[in-house]
Structure 1
Amino acid sequence: MNKKHFVLAAFFILIIFLAFFLRLYHLDERVFHHDESAVGYFTYKLFNDSVYSYDPSFHGPFMYYATSEMYRHLEDTVFASRLLPALIGASMIFLLIPLRRYLGNTGTVIAAFFLALSPSFLYYSRFYREDIFISFFTLLALVCAVKYAEAFDKDRGKVSLLNLHFFAGYSIERVFYLALGGIAISSMAALKENAYIIMALIALFLFLFFIREGWYRGLIDRLKRPDREFIVPILEGLFLVLVVLVVFSLFYTGNLLDISGMKAAVEKALSHWYEMHRIERMGGPYFFYIARIALYELPVLVFGILGMFYYGCRDRKKEKLLAVLLIYWVFVDIMYLIAQSFPWTGKFLPITYIQSSILIFLPILVLGMIGVVYIKNRFIAFLVFWALSNFFIYSYVQEKVPWLVLNPLLPLVLIAAAYLGEVLPGLNIRSRAGAAAVFFLLVSSLFFVHSSLLLNYQNYTDPAEPMIQASQAPQKFSEVITKISEISSGYSNQSTEIQITDVNLETQFLWHGRHYSNIKWKVSLDAEFNAPLIVVHDSDGNETEADVMQRNLGSDYIRLDSAKMSWYWFKMSDITPEYVLWRKMNRPPDEYRFVLFYKPVTK
């Protein structure tokens, strides 16, 4: 190993340690998000009562079963809930090692740096959700596909006197990577329903790759007279499908191959999430993800895009392509603005969100598909297709939530790393262009690290951070949980009566009240209130429910104000240098408030 390789290896190992440290440091400090509370409670029910029923709103069974085992060994705590996402998120860096041949030594270290310190990947590695698992298994499936392709090419090149035998020269590692890849794909489907999108994109890529490689030539003759090279890949494909179906069936039905049970699970998932898209339950602008990537992952975005042009275009084609795309997008945006300003033009212009998003991002999907056919490097061709098709789909789908940003971000990380790893060693930093490129890389990387540390260790419940979804409870919510524990210890401990009138607090309190056996939910405001702990809704107004309750309870109870979530309605005027650098806002957030009334023990 020469000095350069030794330094790169040392940096890579250092980054691995840093990734684990950053993900485990104060892992349980942030108060549970609404979704974490719901998922944590359902996991607790599985752990404690062996009860689980698939609900697409809260995704598949994988994480529930895996985390219930963590509870078995570490108890049901916030730390135990987030431990697996943290370990899985850090372990993604190990999956870069098999890709070193394609990323290059320098590119592999850069990819490790991006994954370890990415604001998005770090945040969702410290979050009890399925999305970091999806990223891990997606990357694992890619590794398996790459290693299978290597073994396939190696076997095709073998020349042996035993080639008369049907399986002579066949490498058993192909079966291993097919099986592992099948487990990765089915695990994704057992985690979250956007796995079906990933499967559809894989199928589309394979179809385009089939065309690229010209495998359709002579297909009829090969079907009539199949040989070893034709039959073995078909058998391998059937084996892969079988692995996916068996593992999927075991997760969702508990049976080896329950076709009707699997069909019911898929139909339930697709119908639910199509309806959420149709009603635009959590809608957002078509630039929802690109804006977040630009704010948090600037070097990844810029060098990822440059990498796509670098690998996808030669000579002056990239300038022509960029000019055509810019003209097209300006034209579509003008049409959309006209349609918004003059409603009567909606008869022939894209007035709706869905129409405009398809028109704006369709060229991106087309470019991704063309890239599969024309980009010589097969690995990069897939990454470009993967990134662009994800941008198209998630910009179109009307379920705009921050955690889905990981889907287009992951391939962008690999493209940016491969590009930088190839270009940086030969860059002339004495030239203006070279010096400018290095300067931008350093400054944007510093901002990238700054944004990550700010989000994950300072502003982790601040709704001014666009990466934080509105259902995140503010940190002051933890004071309520602490006070409930403190007061109940002076009465009947976890049998202490708690009266809750606010129906919208149930999900948030399910996790925190899982050990309390005497919680009265949805108590009418006309009821008699004498419990040591009473929770009511608070709102704006002259006399709120909390004010009425305080007057009725008298001086025996002490009031503790809190909130279950907070949010901002952002405006263009909010985007200031102070906001970009420090997420400073000139107004407090809106809140969904509630009040805890507690009765201290009298001695």
Structure 2
Amino acid sequence: MVSVLLILALFTGFFMFPQGAADMFTALQVWTKTGTAKTGHEKVFLYWFDLFRRYEWPILVSLVISPVVFLTANRSLRILILTGFGTWLAYSLIPYKTPWLVLNLIWPLAFCGGAVLGRVIPSVPKLPGLRTALSLGVLICVGVSFAKMWKLNFHDFAARGEPYVYVQSTIDFKKVVDTLYRQAAKHPESRTMKIAATNRDTWPLPYLLIPFTNVSWGRPEVEMLNAASVVLSDSEDRAVIESRLVGKFFVLPFQIRDSYQDGQAYLEFSRFRDVVPASTPTFEGKLAVEGKAL
């Protein structure tokens, strides 16, 4: 009863919005469509198993051994095994799969594995070295998982070959944003410079560009590009943008996410020349060379 009241309180704004009690069921319709419709995130049945095999060895062991001890387990452990294994099975059957959902699978299987080991290890015959070997195996699994976690988080966090790196911002994207921040730190007046963000998919730019007060969003029209010190664009718009730019610009690769198309960032040469390496490629609009304007 307490749990039901808490859920109702949260979904109704602490009973100030009664309609929320019905709306929480409406949300399930959306998730049903997300789980079955074509979204571009469909994966094979063994997707979670492969992630465990690659990154989460203790969880993989838990998934494998839990069904084995199910029949001889007590009632509480059976419920725990059903929760862990059943969660994995349900999520495997649903086509929609993204790596961050693995958090919903890890915690029940972690509890399940711990409970199984707590039951199995004491029952192992006291043969020379057997318990030591079993404990060593557990430590190896945990150690391998920790090493993979460290490598992924601090070295390969933007590597496209890592399945956990999914719709992740790229290093090129970070370099451009860092350049804008360096410019603003060195020349505070640059916080008011005109930035034209013409990308079709802009997130997380709205958050990262908060320090800048003159940001335009939309398609690369002449008016939008006029007097812009920074132009952020998709590769498919490159020809259009370069036909409309006036002035000399540094050109940096700019891909927002690994799953998104490539792009370019145009940084005004005269403004950024003391924060951008001199070896960076440049573009100079023909109209600027000819002294004309669109």
Under TM normalisation by the shorter chain, which class is it? 0.7 to 0.9
Q: Using the alignment, how far apart are the partners of 1:287 and 1:249 within structure 2?
A: 38
Note the alpha carbon deviations across 1:196-218, whole angstroms, 9 max, x for none.
Answer: xxxxxxxxxxxxxxxxxxxxxxx
| Matched AA of 1:301 | L
SS in 1 for 2:12: helix
Contact 2:194 2:227 in 1 (8 A): no
Native 8 Å contact 2:191 2:211 kept in 1: yes
Cα distance in 2 between the residues matched to 1:425 and 1:243:
40
Corresponding position of 2:30: 272
Cα shift at 1:400: 0.5
What is the deviation of 1:496?
1.7
**Alignment correspondent of 1:593:** 262
The list of structure 1 runs, each at least 4 consecutive aligned residues, that deviate by more than 6 angstroms after superposition, is: none
Q: Is 1:498–1:519's contact at 8 Å kept on the other side of the alignment? A: yes
In structure 1, what residue type is equivalent to 2:55?
Y
Question: Matched residues in 2 for 1:502 and 1:520: separation?
Answer: 11
Which moves more between the two structures, 476-485 or 286-295? 476-485
The alpha-carbon distance between structure 1 residues 398 and 473, as it changes in their structure 2 partners (threshold 3 A), is same
Q: What does the per-residue CA deviation read over 1:222-256, in whole Å, with 9 as the maximum and x for residues that have no partner?
A: xxxxxxxxxxxxxxx3x543343223322xxxx52
CA distance in 2, matches of 1:422, 1:491: 63
After TM superposition, the structure 1 = structure 2 runs for residues 511-590 of structure 1, keeping only pairs within 5 Å, are 511-527=207-223, 528-538=225-235, 545-546=237-238, 549-550=241-242, 553=245, 556-566=248-258
Q: Does 1:466 align with 2:163?
A: yes
> What percentage of residue pairs aligned between the two structures are identical?
17
Is the contact made by 1:459 and 1:465 (CA closer than 8 Å) also made in structure 2?
Answer: yes
| 1:560 maps to amino acid | L
How many angstroms does 1:257 deviate by?
Answer: 5.6
The alpha-carbon distance between structure 1 residues 242 and 525, as it changes in their structure 2 partners (threshold 3 A), is: closer
Q: d(CA) in 2 for partners of 1:402 and 1:553?
A: 40
Distance 1:405 1:472 in 2: 16
Distance in structure 2 (CA, Å) of the matches to 1:508 and 1:241: 36
Report the 3-state secondary structure (helix = DSSP H, G, I; strand = E; otherwise coil) of the residue aligned with 1:465. coil
Q: 1:452 to 1:429 in 2, by over 3 A?
A: farther
What is the CA–CA distance in structure 1 between the aligned matches of 2:129 and 2:68, rounded to whole Å?
21
In the other structure, the counterpart of 1:587 is none
TM-score normalised according to structure 2 size: 0.78
Indicate how the Cα distance of structure 1 residues 549 and 280 shifts in structure 2: closer, same or farther if over 3 A, else same: closer
Change (3 A) 1:535 1:240: closer
TM superposition shift of 1:404: 1.1
Is contact 1:304–1:419 with CA below 8 Å preserved after alignment? no
Amino acid paired to 1:563 = Q
1-side partners of 2:125 and 2:238: how far apart? 67
Say how many residue pairs are matched: 269
The answer (yes or no) to whether the contact 2:121–2:131 under 8 Å persists in 1 is no
Q: Partners of 2:239 and 2:67 in 1: how far apart?
A: 59
Separation of aligned partners in 2, 1:402 and 1:300: 15
CA–CA distance in structure 2, aligned partners of residues 296 and 406 of structure 1: 13
Measure how far apart 1:430 and its partner are.
Answer: 5.0
1:344-423 counterparts in 2 under 5 A? 375-378=73-76, 380-423=77-120
Question: How big is the shift at 1:546?
Answer: 3.0
Q: In the alignment, is the contact (CA less than 8 A) between 1:472 and 1:565 conserved in 2?
A: yes
Partner of 2:47: 288
Distance, in Å, in 2 between the alignment partners of 1:298 and 1:289 is: 12
Match of 1:298 among 49, 57, 64: 57
**What is the SS of the residue equivalent to 1:441?**
helix
5 Å-filtered alignment, 1:191-206, equals none
Q: Distance in 2 between matches of 1:538 and 1:463?
A: 19
CA distance in 2, matches of 1:456, 1:429: 40
Is residue 429–residue 438 contact of structure 1 (8 Å, CA) maintained in 2?
no
The SS at the match of 1:558 is strand
Q: Matches of 2:242 and 2:126 in 1, distance apart?
A: 69
Q: Sort the Cα spacing of 1:288 and 1:548 in 2 relative to 1 into closer, same or farther, 3 A.
A: same
Partner of 1:248: 11
Counterpart Cα distance in 2 of 1:556 and 1:445: 54
**CA deviation vs aligned residue, 1:33-63 (integer Å, no higher than 9, x gap):** xxxxxxxxxxxxxxxxxxxxxxxxxxxxxxx
Residue in structure 2 matched with residue 181 of structure 1 by the alignment: none
Whether the 8 Å contact between 1:428 and 1:435 is mirrored in structure 2 is no
How many Å apart are 1:500 and its aligned residue?
A: 2.1
> Separation in 2 of the partners of 1:502 and 1:290?
36
With over 3 angstroms needed to count, the CA separation of the structure-2 counterparts of 1:263 and 1:402, relative to structure 1, is: same
Other-structure match for 1:498: 195
Query: Residue deviations 1:279-311, cap 9 Å, x none?
Result: 23121111111211122111232145324422x
SS in 2 for 1:499: strand
Q: Distance in 1 between matches of 2:199 and 2:3?
A: 50
Question: What is the root-mean-square deviation in Å for CA atoms of aligned residues?
Answer: 3.0
| Contact 1:293/1:409 (<8 A) preserved | no
Higher helix share: 1
Once the two structures are TM-superposed, the CA of residue 548 in structure 1 deviates from its matched residue by 5.9
Instruction: Note if 1:448 corresponds to 2:113.
Output: no
Amino acid at match of 1:419: V
* Deviation of 1:553 (Å): 4.0
CA apart distance, 1:436: 5.6
Write the letter of the residue equivalent to 1:300.
Answer: I
Change (3 A) 1:246 1:462: same
Partners of 2:131 and 2:154 in 1: how far apart?
34
